């Protein structure tokens, strides 16, 4: 940089410093004040006050700027007025305006105190008399008995007397028939209206509108009542014009809003009856602006949207129909039939998961009494459950589909089609035994059922072969004879080449004999047949972790990530647990990231992530996740319990107890008795140390000194062994 340019910069900087000197700041402040920018004026002058030798009038100017800003918007701002009064104490104008702001904010006690002080001062600040009188009337006290009465002019006193007459319904006629000039036109109009003398009232109100000295508010009130008179004389359009003008000019009383709302509603109703639905909706929107919580308007609103939605479905315009149904639901209307329309529309839009949920809602909302005219019989209920299941199936949510098929069967136990559908679904899930049970059930009732017999015949051989291989293979594996197990599984896999489970078992036992290439080949075959089977993925995951095969694990993770809808949270955390077991922490992190991506708001997932983080001593991060859960549901038991554990570990026993209490209360409410007992045990351990629970001694006491698997199997009670082996066999 040249010397000349840096000099130029220094000079510019110096100029800037000069620009901020006192006089310039004062000038800038004055300009800002003239432009109504009071904040800037305050800023400039407050800065100027900090400069040496400030002007003695600067403080008063700042106070004035605060005052102007304080009364500048809406009701006014007491904070600014208080600052102004701090700078120029006892200023009567500032105090008066502070009282007005208090009055507008309905802080009548504060306002009255200042008004009275101002009036008591010498000389008296008479402007305060009128708002004080208004305040006294507002407090429903007699103004004539108050000393302020004498401070009012005759005209002002007449106004208060007029209001009192209207209020007490006394001497109203005097207001109507008072000679011109002796009673305000507005009072005459109101009194005439009050006495049903509509033509006198109309004339008086019209004169209020024309009178040059009428106050705005008086004009708008006159307009409102002119509207009412026109409405009473069947001139609704004129009435609306008066009301809308009054509303635009600041009258927003409940009765005005009611009338405008009713007017638009009635017009909307006429358009609706003439089948001009869009026009009706426009009018109704206007009506709802004025009377948003009116159920009658909402009924019409829903009726129109229903009609428009129905018409859209007849034109196959399903997305438009959906928008209309949604509008109805947004008003809180959740009738069974609207849910039905929603479900059918979602099916047409191929959103089968949502469709299934809405069909469930239809079922939930069905009338339960058999005498109800809309009651559904058992067959219809069953058919609807079947339909829910079909939607889940289309949405690839096989677990829910199976559950709902079972529901359908509860309502129609002899429905062979349903049983066949369920058996098919169970077979595709690899749940051979359950499928066979279902087929057997059909054949018990209908020994000649052709579809059941066909399916049984088709699956019998392969199923039998699979089960035989699986059972024999497991026996050999259990006793550590992996070569023999592999032989059995290999034979099974070759015979049942399209059975994903068999290929997986072959892969697993190949890995057990360290033939990892063969294992990889069988796993590839399995996932080519079915890349979404969680049980098979779990076995392969375990196998590759055990053999530390990073590439293969990444391929498996790819399969897991591709499953839609994403696998359940418990499955993903099981994968993480296995990663920890085999010390694959990076992989665990990857799975954790995936969980956070696919379940960003799932409380169960967030709690498990927090648990993971806490286990790694990342306490603060864990707390963040738990708090995210509590933002959604402040009493979520698991989140509260873990937060309690964290606080307990940090020595904050008070907070720990508080969260545990919430967790227990919620768990009790949800009837999660297992979790209550789990929490109690953990709390006991955390607060009193680990107890020697009798049941552990009972079960595992006999296992002390075990030297081999056979030895252990021999010692475990047979019922418990059956349970444990059952668990292993079922897997997922």
**Lookup result for tokens 């034979």:** 491
Name the minimum Å distance from CB 34 to another protein. Answer: 9
Confirm if 473 and 505 have CB atoms less than 8 A apart: yes
30 burial level (CB within 10 Å; 0-12, 13-18, 19+):
middle
Name the minimum Å distance from CB 180 to another protein. Answer: 19
Q: For another protein, which is the closer residue by CB, 358 or 549?
A: 358
Name the minimum Å distance from CB 256 to another protein. Answer: 9
Give the SS3 label for residue 377: coil
Torsion angle of C-alpha atoms 157, 159, 162, 164, degrees rounded to 10 = -70
Name the minimum Å distance from CB 116 to another protein. Answer: 16
Q: For another protein, which is the closer residue by CB, 5 or 234?
A: 234
Which two structure tokens, joined as six digits, stand for 261?
């709302």
Q: For another protein, which is the closer residue by CB, 311 or 596?
A: 311
Other beta carbons within 10 angstroms of residue 531's beta carbon come to: 16
Residue 74 is given by DSSP the state T
Q: For another protein, which is the closer residue by CB, 244 or 635?
A: 244
Q: For another protein, which is the closer residue by CB, 96 or 478?
A: 96
Cβ neighbours of residue 441 under 8 Å, at least 6 residues apart? 419
What radius of gyration do the chain's Cα atoms show? 41
Cβ neighbours of residue 220 under 8 Å, at least 6 residues apart? 245, 246, 249, 250, 251
Cis omega before residue 123 (within 30°)?
yes
Q: For another protein, which is the closer residue by CB, 263 or 599?
A: 263
Residue 183 is given by DSSP the state B
Q: For another protein, which is the closer residue by CB, 135 or 609?
A: 135
Name the minimum Å distance from CB 510 to another protein. Answer: 50
Other beta carbons within 10 angstroms of residue 43's beta carbon come to: 16
Confirm if 636 and 616 have CB atoms less than 8 A apart: no
Cβ neighbours of residue 67 under 8 Å, at least 6 residues apart? 80, 81, 84, 93, 94, 97
Cβ neighbours of residue 415 under 8 Å, at least 6 residues apart? 382, 408, 409
Name the minimum Å distance from CB 695 to another protein. Answer: 52
Name the minimum Å distance from CB 318 to another protein. Answer: 10
Name the minimum Å distance from CB 183 to another protein. Answer: 13
Q: For another protein, which is the closer residue by CB, 245 or 621?
A: 245
Q: For another protein, which is the closer residue by CB, 320 or 672?
A: 320
C-alpha–C-alpha distance, residues 301 and 268, integer Å: 9
Name the minimum Å distance from CB 161 to another protein. Answer: 11
C-alpha–C-alpha distance, residues 664 and 676, integer Å: 6
Confirm if 246 and 208 have CB atoms less than 8 A apart: no
Q: For another protein, which is the closer residue by CB, 94 or 486?
A: 94
Q: For another protein, which is the closer residue by CB, 216 or 326?
A: 216
Confirm if 472 and 492 have CB atoms less than 8 A apart: no
Name the minimum Å distance from CB 386 to another protein. Answer: 11
C-alpha–C-alpha distance, residues 44 and 38, integer Å: 10
Q: For another protein, which is the closer residue by CB, 314 or 371?
A: 314
What are φ and ψ of residue 661, in 5° steps? -60, -45
Name the minimum Å distance from CB 100 to another protein. Answer: 6
C-alpha–C-alpha distance, residues 215 and 159, integer Å: 13
Other beta carbons within 10 angstroms of residue 502's beta carbon come to: 29
Q: For another protein, which is the closer residue by CB, 265 or 647?
A: 265
Q: For another protein, which is the closer residue by CB, 208 or 545?
A: 208
Task: Give me the DSSP letters along 75-120.
Answer: T--HHHHHHHHHHSTT-HHHHHHHHHHHHHTT-HHHHHHHHHHHHH
Name the minimum Å distance from CB 419 to another protein. Answer: 19
What are φ and ψ of residue 183, in 5° steps? -135, 140
What are φ and ψ of residue 63, in 5° steps? -60, -40
Name the minimum Å distance from CB 682 to another protein. Answer: 50
Cβ neighbours of residue 349 under 8 Å, at least 6 residues apart? 318, 319, 322
Q: For another protein, which is the closer residue by CB, 3 or 169?
A: 169
Name the minimum Å distance from CB 64 to another protein. Answer: 5
Furthest CA-CA distance within the chain: 121
Name the minimum Å distance from CB 402 to another protein. Answer: 22
Phi-psi category of residue 146: left, alpha or beta, with phi > 0 → left and psi -120 to 50 → alpha:
beta
Residue 179 is given by DSSP the state P
């Amino acid at each position: 940089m040249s010397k000349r340019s840096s000099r130029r910069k220094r000079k510019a900087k110096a100029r800037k410093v000069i620009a901020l000197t006192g006089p310039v700041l004062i000038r800038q402040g004055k300009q800002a004040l003239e432009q109504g920018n009071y904040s800037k004026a305050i800023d400039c002058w407050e800065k100027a006050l900090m400069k040496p030798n400030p002007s003695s009038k600067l403080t008063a100017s700042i106070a004035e700027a605060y005052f102007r800003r304080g009364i500048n918007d809406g009701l006014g701002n007491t904070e600014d007025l208080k600052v102004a009064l701090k700078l120029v104490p006892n200023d009567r104008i500032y105090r008066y305006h502070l009282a007005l702001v208090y009055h507008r904010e309905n802080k009548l006690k504060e306002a009255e105190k200042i008004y009275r002080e101002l009036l008591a001062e010498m000389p008296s600040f008479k402007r305060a008399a009128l708002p004080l009188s208004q305040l006294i009337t507002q407090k429903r006290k007699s103004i004539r008995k108050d000393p302020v009465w004498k401070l009012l002019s005759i005209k002002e006193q007449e106004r208060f007397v007029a209001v009192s007459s209207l209020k007490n319904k006394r001497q109203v006629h005097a207001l109507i028939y008072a000679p011109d000039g002796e009673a305000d036109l507005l009072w005459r109009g109101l009194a005439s209206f009050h006495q049903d003398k509509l033509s006198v009232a109309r004339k008086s109100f019209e004169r209020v509108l024309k009178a040059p000295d009428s106050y705005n508010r008086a004009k708008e009130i006159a307009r409102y009542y002119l509207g009412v008179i026109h409405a009473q004389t069947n001139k609704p359009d004129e009435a609306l014009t008066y009301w809308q003008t009054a509303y635009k000019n600041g009258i927003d009383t409940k009765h005005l809003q009611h009338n405008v709302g009713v007017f638009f509603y009635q017009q909307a109703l006429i358009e609706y009856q003439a089948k001009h639905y869009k026009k009706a909706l426009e009018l109704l929107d206007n009506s709802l602006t004025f009377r948003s919580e009116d159920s009658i308007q909402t009924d019409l609103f829903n009726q129109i949207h229903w009609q428009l939605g129905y018409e859209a479905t007849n034109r196959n315009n399903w997305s438009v129909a959906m928008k209309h149904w949604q509008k109805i639901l947004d008003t809180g209307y959740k009738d069974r039939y609207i849910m039905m329309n929603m479900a059918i529309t979602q099916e047409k839009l191929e959103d089968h998961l949502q469709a299934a949920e809405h069909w469930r809602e239809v079922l939930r909302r069905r009338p339960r009494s058999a005498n109800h005219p809309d009651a559904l019989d058992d067959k219809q209920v069953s058919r609807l459950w079947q339909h829910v299941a079909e939607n889940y199936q289309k949405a690839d949510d096989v677990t829910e589909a199976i559950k709902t098929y079972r529901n359908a069967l509860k309502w129609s136990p002899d429905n062979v089609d349903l049983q066949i559908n369920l058996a098919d679904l169970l077979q595709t899930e690899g749940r051979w035994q359950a499928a066979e049970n279902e087929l057997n059930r059909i054949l018990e009732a209908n020994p000649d059922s052709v579809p059941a017999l066909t399916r049984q015949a088709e699956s019998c051989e392969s199923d039998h072969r699979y089960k035989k291989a699986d059972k024999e293979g497991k026996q050999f594996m259990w006793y550590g004879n992996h070569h023999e197990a592999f032989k059995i599984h290999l034979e099974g896999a070759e015979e049942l080449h399209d059975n994903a489970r068999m290929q997986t078992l072959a892969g697993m036992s190949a890995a057990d004999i360290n033939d990892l290439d063969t294992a990889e080949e069988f796993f590839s075959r399995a996932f080519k047949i079915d890349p979404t089977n969680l049980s098979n993925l779990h076995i392969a995951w375990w196998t590759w972790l055990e053999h530390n095969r990073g590439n293969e694990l990444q391929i498996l993770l790819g399969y897991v990530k591709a499953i839609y809808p994403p696998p359940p949270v418990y499955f993903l955390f099981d994968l993480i647990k296995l990663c920890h077991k085999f010390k694959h922490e990076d992989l665990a992190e990857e799975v954790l990231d995936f969980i956070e991506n696919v379940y960003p708001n799932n409380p169960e997932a967030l709690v498990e992530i927090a648990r993971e983080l806490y286990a790694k001593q990342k306490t603060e991060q864990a707390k963040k996740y738990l708090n995210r859960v509590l933002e959604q549901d402040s009493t979520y038991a698991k989140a509260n319990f873990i937060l309690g554990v964290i606080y307990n570990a940090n020595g904050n026993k008070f907070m720990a107890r508080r969260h545990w209490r919430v967790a227990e209360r919620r768990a009790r409410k949800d009837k999660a008795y297992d979790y209550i007992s789990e929490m109690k045990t953990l709390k006991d351990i955390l607060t009193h140390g680990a107890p020697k629970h009798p049941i552990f001694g009972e079960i595992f006491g006999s296992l002390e000194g075990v030297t081999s698997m056979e030895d252990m199997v021999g010692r475990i009670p047979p019922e418990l062994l059956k349970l444990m082996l059952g668990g292993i066999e079922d897997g997922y």
